[in-house]
A = this chain, B = another copy of it.
Amino acid sequence: MTSRQAARLLADTPAIADAHFRAEAEPYHPRLRPNGYLNLGTAENRLLWDAVGERLRRLAAGLTEEAVRYAPLHGTSVLRERVAALLSDACRAPLAAEELVVVSGATAALDVVATALCDPGEAIVVPAPYYGAFDTDLAGRSGARLLPAPLSAADGFRLTARAVDRALKRARRAGVVVRAVALSSPSNPVGEVHPPDVLAEVLRVVREHDVDLVADEIYAHAVFGPRPFTSALDPSVNPDWADRTHLVWGFAKDFALPGLKVGVLHTRHPGVLAAARALAYFAPVSTATQDLLARMLADRAWVSGVLAEGRARLAASYEHAVACLTEWGIPFVPAEAGFSVWLDLGRWLPGADAADGSAAGFAAEERLRRGLFEQARVNVLPGAAFHCPKPGWFRLCHTVDAPLVAEAVRRVAAHLRTQGAAEKYAEKYAETNAETNGARP
């Protein structure tokens, strides 16, 4: 009775949400539920509410009649103006309010831009490992297909223009019509702040191949490493491809307000903009929520303070997480941004030392994930959920109370020991960290 287009979508529902809600239903508590789940699977920042909540509550009480009425369905002009000002600073590029479309979440913004760019069967190249929900966000409704451009584990999965170029060429040889390259910047799951020269090279490649660039910059303000964020729209890296470059942003990460479901698409392409406005009709944001956020953004000094505080807390959270990992000898790729650490557990994949991207390797990874979830009761997402080209990698989100992270890392380490490869532990640790720490300043 249901349509084929609905059935296709169903086959494709993201597993991330499932594990999240199972873990949230039975959370760990040191006294009340010591064997409860530790949910480090979801990139939700729980460190900022006390800096935001009081003001937000006060602003929410200022609900007006105007704010429950119909408003333009692609976003109120005042919210678009204030987001444009905020992002113009972050991106060091002049973003105009009329180039923005506000929709109910970054997922909707990604869906909108993919639908505007692609017809069913056309492709988007995505450097991998990539944010797993891209599969649904960019391809679920649009009918586009995603082609991973594998990055190399040897250098901590850093973005390279070469990997993008190779994937585009391979697609062309296979006769696939590619419409765009999409990437997270800063990257998720790895947490890399892409260097300007790499972004400039990627832009040269997409220009050469005459495809659009979709840059998901939802972590733009969540940078805590020494390298500053560079937007794909920064004129110094993107002098001539700006109207083929489309940015996605939202309030979920930088302001730690994922429940508000406010996403933004920025585009200068008149056709994409017109299509995005039409598509926004199906995923509008409450006028009241827009009004609330517009009033929150009005106080620029307060906003700067909150964002700076957010970065400081992220840095502290990250330092604590990697101290725990180091203490227990679990290797990882150092991060510069985002809410997570990318762990290398390849050594503990039973019988997959040569971990080469084979199905057997990923089956072993899934066994390890299930063990971590069911036995250690820690929810961390496996590399397969991010289309990682090599099995054995896991994303651990650390933006929760520090004791929870400490407990989770302890449990992960204890579980790894039971994998009967204790002796490989120290050896692999020394080796991997020499590799990756050196590779990622």
Contact = CB atoms under 8 A, between A and B. Distances in A.
Interface string A269-301: 101101100110111111111000000000000
Interface stretch (A69-77, A309-317, A412-420): A69-77
Contact of A271 (B2, B58, B262, B289): B2
Contact of A260 (B53, B116, B286): B286
Contacts of A244: 1
Contact of A141 (B20, B46, B141, B212): B141
A284 B103 CA distance: 10
Sorting the interface of chain A by its residue count into under 10, 10 to 19, 20 to 34 or 35 or more gives 35 or more
A49 interface: yes
Interface string A1-26: 11111110110111001001100000
Interface string A120-148: 10100000000000001000111100000
Nearest to A70: B258
Interface stretch (A60-68, A192-200, A216-224): A60-68
A1 B269 contact: yes
B70 A259 contact: yes
A57 interface: yes
B283 A286 contact: no
Centre residue among A14, A21, A108, A275 by max chain B CB count within 10 A: A275
A181 to B, nearest CB: 14
Contact of A10 (B20, B256, B278): B278
A137 to B, nearest CB: 8
B17 A73 contact: yes
A234 interface: no
A111 interface: yes
Contact of A278 (B6, B53, B281): B6
A319 interface: no
Interface string A373-406: 0000000000000000000000000000000000
B2 A259 contact: no
A275 to B, nearest CB: 4
A105 interface: yes
Given A17-B73, A108-B282, A285-B104, A68 B3 contact: no
Interface in A136-171: 136, 140-143
A340 interface: no
B69 A259 contact: yes
Contacts of A262: 286
A194 B60 CA distance: 40
Interface of A: 1-7, 9-10, 12-14, 17, 20-21, 42, 44, 46, 49, 53, 56-58, 60-63, 65, 67-73, 104-105, 107-108, 111, 115-120, 122, 136, 140-143, 179, 212, 244, 256-262, 269, 271-272, 274-275, 278-279, 281-289
